[in-house]
Amino acid sequence: MHAEITERLCNDPGLPHPNPTSSYWQEPVLESVAALQSPQLDENADILVIGSGITGCSVARHLLDGNSNLKVTVLEARTVCSGATGRNGGHVKAVPEYSFAELVPSLGKEEADAVIRFTLANPEALLRVKDTLSPELQKHCEVRRVESLNLFTDDGAVSQFESLLEDFERSHPKRGRIVPRDELAQKFDVHNAAGGYLAPAGAGWPYRLITGLFADMVKDYTDRFRLEALTPVQSIEYLDAAQMYRVTTPRGSLHAKQVVHATNGHAGHLLPGIRGKLYPVRGQMTAQSPSARFGIQGADRSWSIHYGTGFDYMTQSGTSGEIFLGGGLGQAYLHGLDELGNVRDDVNSVLATAHLSGIINAVWCKDKSDTATVDVRAAWTGVMGFTTDGLPMVGKLAQEATLRSGSGEWIAGGYNGYGMANAWLSGKYVADRILGKEDDGLLPQSYKYSAERLKSMQAEDGATHWMTALGLD
């Protein structure tokens, strides 16, 4: 089984599937940008950004804001923001209590703290970005502060988390509080959890935020910004004589001085040297209708449900009330093995969907006559990007990653399921380096791409991690 997982992680992820499952986040699409194309491709740009999710949006926005002369083109294989950003759980959340415990053994306390600072800074950055939008769009995208209630379904999980929390709070300010079983039932109406932890977080409607930002860029930078949907990149070639990249699409070729890869789980398709180091993992999402008893709590709350070796994540629209619940990885086919290296977001995971369809009522309700949700309105999948060392990959790429000449390719991706807590400022870091700005030191050193790091990242280590995480060892 270890060899099978290793092989899965090393496969070419290919291009995004042209007909993905329908994400509830994307209904309705933003017509002004969803399938936007120029009548004819502009053959030349200073910077080409591949991918139109949160990372690509951040890179483009910071480049355009930072240099009044740059021409920037964003290429998207499908409709705008139809990848992971338009398919996720709506969390804008870091979990430093877990991160600290996981990172200290491999990185040391100082670098673990750098990661925590960065992941806590990203939600704050997104809240500031939201404030630049029109009042109507600010309300529409629902980016907001919430209290996140982490629920643990057994006493062992509570004890384990309390130990992690004690270690974390020895050297960090207290962020939240433990919620005992009785209080969960009485105050939060959760009747089948052994304990909880309440801490600050963020939530939002990511598709609306990112498409709204793209719409503003199209309007504000008409002379030097192009957003090209339904334009998959088929190949990249460096032209040594011209010192330019030629990027080929079904609509024609483009030339650029620099190329940014913001394709996350699909990055290995155009970057063969990182296959098996940054790889895709498929995730399952649902949208569910709350019962009258559950009501609308999501304006100031989000949730996670922790059990065994896995967890589910949940937000709720504070206006319309839809519950967005994702996870169930370990309940998917072959204990989750089938999701590793899987880019098939055109189909759902039946077993993960079955789990997600019942977990809310199982955790919240007193008995069979009680209900917290009444139906599953939609189910869809999305492709996340994971790395074998568990850290995002950000920075300028070298030839061992691209397997071609030239030194003008960049990457930000591999967020290991926490894109909303990493992507915006990772994109800013790349844009700032392209612009020649001084490094502000916020991006953790351990995130940065280097030849040494790439060499140390082995698919076999990723397979070992998943064997343990999925309880298969």
Name the nearest CA neighbour of 322 among 365, 376, 280, 279: 376
pLDDT tops 90 at residue 315: yes
Q: Hey, what long-range contacts does 350-356 have (CB within 8 A, 24 or more apart)?
A: 352/284, 352/327, 352/328, 353/284, 353/286, 353/328, 353/379, 355/312, 355/327, 355/328, 355/331, 356/284, 356/285, 356/286, 356/312, 356/325, 356/326, 356/327, 356/328
Mean pLDDT of 342-360: 97
Dihedral sign computed on CA atoms, order 180, 182, 183, 184: positive
Q: What ranges in 369-409 are assigned the alpha helix state H?
A: 399-402
Q: Is the peptide bond before 105 cis (omega within 30 degrees of 0)?
A: no
Label residue 374 by pLDDT band (50, 70, 90). confident
% of the chain surpassing 70 pLDDT: 100
**Looking at the whole model, is its pTM more than 0.85?**
yes
Q: HSE (CB half, 13 Å, CA atoms) of 30?
A: 24
Q: Would 2-88+207-278+388-469 and 143-201+280-384 be classified into the same CATH topology?
A: no
Residue range 41-51, pLDDT digits in tens = 999 999 999 99
Report the alpha-carbon distance of residue 443 to residue 423 in Å, rounded: 11
Name the nearest CA neighbour of 413 among 271, 253, 219: 271
Q: Considering only 6-10, 311-315, 342-346, 372-376, which range has the smallest mean pLDDT? A: 372-376
What CATH code would you report for 143-201+280-384? 3.30.9.10
Q: Strands, E, within 308-418: which ranges? A: 310-316, 323-327, 373-387, 393-396, 409-413
Determine contact, residues 267/454, Cβ cutoff 8 Å: no
Domain spanning 2-88+207-278+388-469: CATH superfamily = FAD/NAD(P)-binding domain (3.50.50.60)
* Residue ranges of domains in the chain: 2-88+207-278+388-469, 143-201+280-384
Task: Give the model's pLDDT for residue 240.
Answer: 95
pLDDT tops 80 at residue 185: yes
Helix axes 54-66, 423-434, angle to 10 degrees: 40
pLDDT tops 80 at residue 473: no
Name the nearest CA neighbour of 431 among 12, 63, 20, 49: 63
Burial 55-80 (b: 16+ CB within 10 A, else e): bbbbbbbbbbeebeebbbbbbbbbbb
